[in-house]
Structure 1
Amino acid sequence: MKQNIFIYLFFSLLLTTCTIAKPVNYSFQDNKNSLNPQFLIYHDSETTSKLYFQIFTEDILYSRTNVSEKFSSKIKLQFIAYNEPNNKIIDSGSFVISNNYLKNKKLKIDTNFSFLFPNAQIGFIDINVVDVNRNREFNKTIKIDKLNKYNRQFYIIKDTNNQLLYDDFFFKGQFIFIQSEFNIQRLFAKNINTSFPLSPPPFSKSYQPIFKSSNSICKQLNFNSQNLISYLLPNEGFVFFQLDTLSNQGFTLFNFQEGYPNLINADQLIPPLRYLTTKDEFASLLSSSDSKLAVDQYWLSKASSKERARNLIRIYYSRVEFANKLFSCHLEGWKTDRGLISIIFGPPSYVTNNRNSETWIYGDENNINSLKFIFENKINPFTTNDFILKRNYAYKNPWYRAVDSWRNGKVYLLK
């Protein structure tokens, strides 16, 4: 059946009636009842920008009052865009997005809208998305950078199927098209093959990587007469796109394993076990000729039954995949500090953030005995999603208590 998405747009200043909470920029609830929308900002003119919005229909509730009617969903999206540093509201508004179907529903809902934001300014846009039928909501704050022409918001990237590339990672050999309203000359693409280690335990000294883009293979990409760059992404390494190769500024597309952010084969199940294994155990897993059998045997050795082993595998690797979705930067999400903590300890009870840090609390928010982790946003030329844990020796006992729980066949969930 033909499906129609009806978008009702009405703009109004919401100075007193619309306040959007900003406790965190993502949800840890990765299930059918959670909202996991994606957003992308693109600067398309001197005075306006576009916000692209995508959500999978399996994440929202469709309902109907009787069997003769179509199933219907309703999403409400509110936004406030404001500049920095004086937080002056530039634009605000609200949408209602409805989608109907009778037999077969679409895989996802895609839409976009323009909002006012002047050139050469920096600011933020607060977004609140509500699944009206289920009364579930999602909040996100996105930085707007309309000052620095090297950042990705000045470029829109699509694949050969004309689909937007929302994520910052790609698959080897993928072909893309890059477009810009502000740059019609060229970009430089650096193919970088630097390897970065996974995060150490929270009580140990943090490893501070050196981000180098020198001595990398660099290629000049010119916009054609249609104001497009066509580019075949490499099989290995990630790509750093720049306006000026003498600077350390640009935007990056990362190349991780096949199927990323999901785990699609047994070989990919072994590396995340490094958080739980001894050196000898991990070496044995890596040297195994049958990865699936090695992984199964590892979990069976920790669990008291096959059923418990299956539950351990399901929860542990769902946390790995979810870390990949949330925390990817120059590293796969599971290798980052936030990935490390979320996999071993589970989702925190409370998360608060500001523009430069996040605080995760396990336990009651105002209880001095609760476990607290603070992650600080690190300056990284390749990504803005790099958050480093403030390590502390006091985390040693909680860490080993959590790891021992996994190794004794019990899912660790600290609340």
Structure 2
Amino acid sequence: MKLRTNILFSFFLLAFLAIHPAFSQKKLNSLNQALRYSRYSRLGLKIIPIKENETDYKLQMVVEKIEEDINFNTFSFSYMILNSYDQEIMDDEVTILTENDIKLDTERHWFFEKTVSIPADQEVAVALLSVLDTRQADEYYYHIDLKSPFVFEQPSFGAYYANNVPFDQNFLTKGQSLLFKSEEGPSLHEFYYPATFDVPYPPMETKPATVPKELEVIDEGDFLTNVPESLDNEGYYFIQGDTSASTGLLLKTTHEAFPKVKDWEEMIQMVTYISTRKEHETLLAAEDKKKALDEYWYNLTRNPDIAKDLIREYFRQIEFANILFTDFKEGWKTDRGMIYVVMGPPNEVNFYQDREVWTYMGMNESSKIRFTFVRVKNILNPHYYSLNRSRAYQPVWFKNISIWRSGKMAF
């Protein structure tokens, strides 16, 4: 039986390597993860780690089925644990995931769950999930730090949908419920932050952003695990098993229309990226917001059909930014969301332990544009990034805004 198992594993490994050419010559920081932010991805990947003890981590690997009528057998799934972002990815360290490894198969998700052991003295450990679409060789990746200088600690509990699939979104509509399961104790503690945030400065603005001196926090007290918990207010919640620890789970709660735009007031806020200061001030001061916005869009293009396409495309970008980059801020208000809305999805995305780099292709190597997002250690979100701003971005930024305003931007 053991021999048969080894033969089957060897078969799957050989098949995997045959469709992952030169996989062993890659490193995490050399992988182009642009499909992670593509508007045309067929899958959405997430790894949710739960710490079980000093050495063991439960990896909840959730694959969202974006494509309709999707077939498991058209993809090849694998995962591995790395000890750095520049460690060479070796074939014999890759673990293949087959249909037998599926913990739950629902209408919207495939869910895998594996426990890995990390030596207590190991300072960096990164989990990498890889999925290959065998039809056109598209490679999807998702990684997360289990241990690193940017992670305080992993929580010992998780949040779940009603069907027991781990909660894999960046936000939850206010009033909805989640089920929490904990490795320790029968209850968790909840803090609520009714915070709103300003729009970020543009990429060429080098002065530091204003930081609120005080942040209102409401202690909601304890609640029971394994019982649906409703998060009723808009803002964000921070859930902890131990309030003295530097670890927890951030849950952003939003209005019912999110990730789409809610109303005319919110729409006016969102057009700030492609508006002049005078235009935006006029919109903010207008009594009839809808009429003011209609005039605004028409004045940009002088063509009602082009204006309709422009509105549709711009708020489609806003929607994707909200889906992809929401943390304690709405996605469109984050630095990455701002760049995504104006510049579009990046052609290349590379992750390093301390930064994330987006590349937009030009006519040649010298005309490429790169945006570097520096990783900031944050108790609320272990993967929080802030843009490295520079005055050198001004020409390309204004050029893209001009393209937007002419109605010619399309992704």
TM-score, with length taken from structure 1: 0.78
Give the structure 1 partner of residue 185 of structure 2: 184
Q: Distance in 1 between matches of 2:288 and 2:374?
A: 40
Alpha-carbon RMSD across the aligned residues, in angstroms, is 3.8
Deviations along 1:248-305, whole A, 9 cap, x unmatched?
A: 5432111233332233555443221011223342244345565554433322221142
Deviations along 1:37-95, whole A, 9 cap, x unmatched?
A: 34433345764523232222526755xxxxxxxxx852211111134699699964112
User: Larger relative CO (CA 8 A, sep 6+): 1 or 2?
Assistant: 2
Q: Distance in 2 between matches of 1:253 and 1:260?
A: 14
Whether 1:58 aligns to 2:59 is no
Query: How much does 1:30 deviate?
Result: 0.8
Q: Of 167, 170, 173, which aligns to 1:168?
A: 170
Give the structure 1 partner of residue 143 of structure 2: 141
Give the structure 2 partner of residue 310 of structure 1: 308
Q: Of 122, 125, 128, which aligns to 1:123?
A: 125
Give the structure 2 partner of residue 5 of structure 1: none
- Greater helix proportion: 2
**Residue 330 to residue 214, structure 1, CA distance change in 2 (3 Å):** closer
Q: Which moved more, 1:355-364 or 1:327-336?
A: 355-364
Q: Of 345, 358, 361, which aligns to 2:359?
A: 361
Please list, as runs of the form range in 1=range in 2, the aligned pairs for 1:25-174 lying within 5 A after superposition.
26-31=35-40, 34-43=42-51, 47=56, 49-56=58-65, 58=67, 73-83=73-83, 92-97=94-99, 107-118=107-118, 120=120, 122-145=124-147, 153-160=155-162, 162-174=164-176
- Contact kept? 2:13, 2:96, Cα under 8 Å: no
Query: How much does 1:171 deviate?
Result: 1.6
Q: Distance in 1 between matches of 2:213 and 2:313?
A: 36
Q: Distance in 2 between matches of 1:403 and 1:94?
A: 45
Q: Distance in 1 between matches of 2:202 and 2:49?
A: 35
Give the structure 1 partner of residue 201 of structure 2: 200
Percent sequence identity is: 24
- Contact kept? 1:173, 1:235, Cα under 8 Å: yes
- Contact kept? 1:118, 1:146, Cα under 8 Å: no
- Contact kept? 1:75, 1:130, Cα under 8 Å: yes
Q: Distance in 2 between matches of 1:106 and 1:187?
A: 28
Deviations along 1:89-136, whole A, 9 cap, x unmatched?
A: 9964112449xxxxxx97423221314224756511122112223432
3-state SS of 1:27 partner: helix
3-state SS of 1:228 partner: coil
Q: Distance in 2 between matches of 1:402 and 1:378?
A: 28
Q: Distance in 1 between matches of 2:85 and 2:350?
A: 21
Q: Distance in 1 between matches of 2:189 and 2:212?
A: 18
What amino acid sits opposite 1:41 in the alignment?
Answer: P
Please list, as runs of the form range in 1=range in 2, the aligned pairs for 1:209-358 lying within 5 A after superposition.
210=211, 216-221=217-222, 223=224, 228=226, 230-245=228-243, 249-263=247-261, 265-288=263-286, 291-358=289-356
Q: Which moved more, 1:248-257 or 1:80-89?
A: 80-89
What amino acid sits opposite 2:219 in the alignment?
Answer: C
**Residue 400 to residue 215, structure 1, CA distance change in 2 (3 Å):** closer
Unpaired runs of 5+ in structure 2?
1-7
Deviations along 1:359-383, whole A, 9 cap, x unmatched?
A: 2222359723332221101222211
Unpaired runs of 5+ in structure 1?
1-8, 63-71, 99-104
Q: Distance in 2 between matches of 1:272 and 1:85?
A: 35
Give the structure 2 partner of residue 69 of structure 1: none
**Residue 162 to residue 393, structure 1, CA distance change in 2 (3 Å):** same
- Contact kept? 2:332, 2:338, Cα under 8 Å: yes
Q: Distance in 1 between matches of 2:80 and 2:400?
A: 41
Q: Which moved more, 1:110-119 or 1:324-333?
A: 110-119
TM-score, with length taken from structure 2: 0.78
